[in-house]
Structure 1
Amino acid sequence: MVPHLITALTGPINEFEQRILDAMPAIERWFRLEWMEHTPPFYTSVDIRNAGFKLAPVDSNLFPGGWNHLSTEMLPLAVQAAMAAIEKICPEARNLLIIPENLTRNTFYLANVAQLVRIFNMAGLNVRVGSINPAIKKPTRVALPNGDAITLEPVVRSRRRLGLKDFDPCTILLNNDLSAGVPGILEEIYEQYLLPPLHAGWSVRRKSTHFKNYEAVAKRFGKMLGIDPWLINPLYDQCTGAQLGAGPGMEPLQTCVDALLTKMRRKYKEYGIDEKPFVIVKADDSKASVGILTVRDAKDLDALKRRARKALIGGDGQPGNDLIIQEGVLTQERVHDAVAEPVVYMVDRYVVGGFYRMHAERGTDESLNTPGAGFVPLAFEHSVHMTQPGVRPGASAPNRFYMYGVVARLAMLAASYELEATNPDAEVY
């Protein structure tokens, strides 16, 4: 299915797309040299927003779900990338154990796990799914919405290894973002490859750390390409110690919001952008139950105190006081008249596909990752890797997807910096 895109693109984005296409050899060499020095995350998905005047990642997931939304045409790319990733880590790999989230009743999520099983099975591995959910005490077959089925088996832990009854994997793939903390059953595994590593989970990760690294990557890339890095970088600030209740506890948050909105207004004025800037406030550690708050004026926070506390409440029932304030990026993408945003998927350092997340009931300045969202695979009439030089910006789907892939890889590179800096086993010189 080829998405029918209705995209209002003018000015800087068209110019940026042309620069990307013209500089493709230099860009690919730049990435190639980076990957000689840094290890990419095992797999990554990146949410991208295209405002028409800027293009930026707004979230990077190191335990991506949603693999079932990739089109059938793109599966060969995922399989080839999976082969390359596994061969690099464990060339003699034979058995792979996937450990998913403890969402046994969410069959749409389990369809994503089933797709991962299919990808790595086609990559030449024996693949089974092991659950660390205490409720799974025996092999449990779950029917999926598309007519498939998946079998969840209880994980068995020996002193130093993790596996299933009569199944000893050399590699363990986590599809669990560890936002509730690292279960003891996953700790101190030294004889098997655990991918991604435990410090990639939200029990350790901070969004502010990721976007600090992304800012550094964007500046270097912008200098290489000769563009303002703001065109690909969402401004952000970290706010610690805010008390989301009554009284002066909101002042640190108001100060941070006001400062970031001021920076955005300067940029909007510089580029002649006739839009009202807004920021997104969310928990820095991405607690599982935490929502987001959209703010257009720091003064509005006084009226939003109760709503702010409710939106930013954590899974433990406590408000998240360590917050990130992020530049809100509009989306001008449309799929079948619904507001949409691209999500790009990668395995190792390779772009393997993606989809458009769309929501008919959300606005251009709202999060689309909410109940009611739909998904349209990125399945173009031509190969997604074959750009079309000479075609005017915005007229070619492969060209547009290549641009998205560049920005997504920049976010993935930032994640690799992030994981290196937070690796508890890294040697200190």
Structure 2
Amino acid sequence: MINKKLSKTLGPILGIMTFMLASGITYTSAFADDTIAAMAPATTTTTSASATYTDNTATPIKDYSIAINKSSEENGIKVTVNSVLATKHNLKVTLKIEGITDPKAIEHNNSLFEVSYGDKDYGFSSTSSRQYADDKTMFLTLEKNNYEGEYPESGNLRVDVVLSNYKVNIGMDVPVDFTNSINKVFTKDITGTIPEINYTLKQLDSDSMGTTVSYTRPKHSGHNIDDNNDFWDSQILLKVDNNFYKLDSRGDSIGDDGTIIGHYSSKLPTYDNIKNGKDISVIPMLYKVSMDDSDIISNNSNKNTSNDSANNLSYEKEFSSSSGLKGTIYNVERNDNSVKVYCKGQSELESLIIASNISLNYNHVKGQKDATIYHYNRFVSFYKDPKDSLGYIVEFDNVDNDKAATLNISYMLKEISMYKMGDEIKLSN
């Protein structure tokens, strides 16, 4: 999403606050657990008379994480740095915390999780996710974006954990060498603009933690500070050969000259997916909905939900938006650990919009923590259905066979007053 602007001076403060809030966050599907290998599509190509299509099969994404397994214990709480991973501008640390008797005791007002690395760690766009192995064991993943500085290839990484309810104050220095992951970088210049929101696209960077498209926007003035506010829910699609990936805005900051610097990013594709891409382009997907309207939009996705007992899935087979969009899920396949969703609209644009706004979650099971979380929504790609001119196939991998699940159509999609596809922007060679 295109978020409200963040002041550069607030950046470092907000980053620390996010880690302080880390364990108080509602369970999130934003990040995959390090203990499970993420899956990405590998392509085999078939050609028809009119177009070339891609059938995708799941293959593991190469994991460049470094196993650490360094622990420290205090007052019955054991904190272990399980694994770490860094690229030039991204840092991820996975912690294992054992001995927790009451997960609610680790809330935003009584805990702190802080990670720092290198002399130029200006990272402030920080996020976290947690999972429970059992009632007393929590896995916490912390991530930072450091677009203004670069992380070094090697050095000492610092982890601090404060749990006031348990009287725990643990700090660990971890020697690391990220030479392998930091050097896995694919970069392409972009020459193009998105006039509706006054963005000038600059560069695509892909590494072992995902892909980012950077942009700039002219500095604020009194009359234009909110002139793109109605497009805050917009996206960018990245097309690599025959596969599509959704990039969401990760916020922006203000440079020294007042220019706004922002980034769209996604967990997929990674360096290993994109380095051999022959046809790479950026497609703006512009959705117009005012901030005021979004505050009163309610999720009505359950009104027309059908239960598919054969696949143990619930979803809306047909749905529509206030602006006239009409979509359908016309087929679902669930095999092994994969769910393939076949969807389309009334036009190519509608089909792309629908395919990029479908997510999956597990149905709630009473008494289970993390029961609804599907940790791979940010590792989803989609591609054309070779048997339907308007159809797209959205593939979800690593889906637990034993869990009932629901496919969700973004409720915002149903209330968007205007949507359009911006000009496709080819990446320069």
Which protein has the bigger strand share?
2
TM-score computed with the length of structure 2 as normaliser: 0.26
Which protein has the bigger helix share?
1
Higher RCO (C-alpha 8 Å, min separation 6): 1
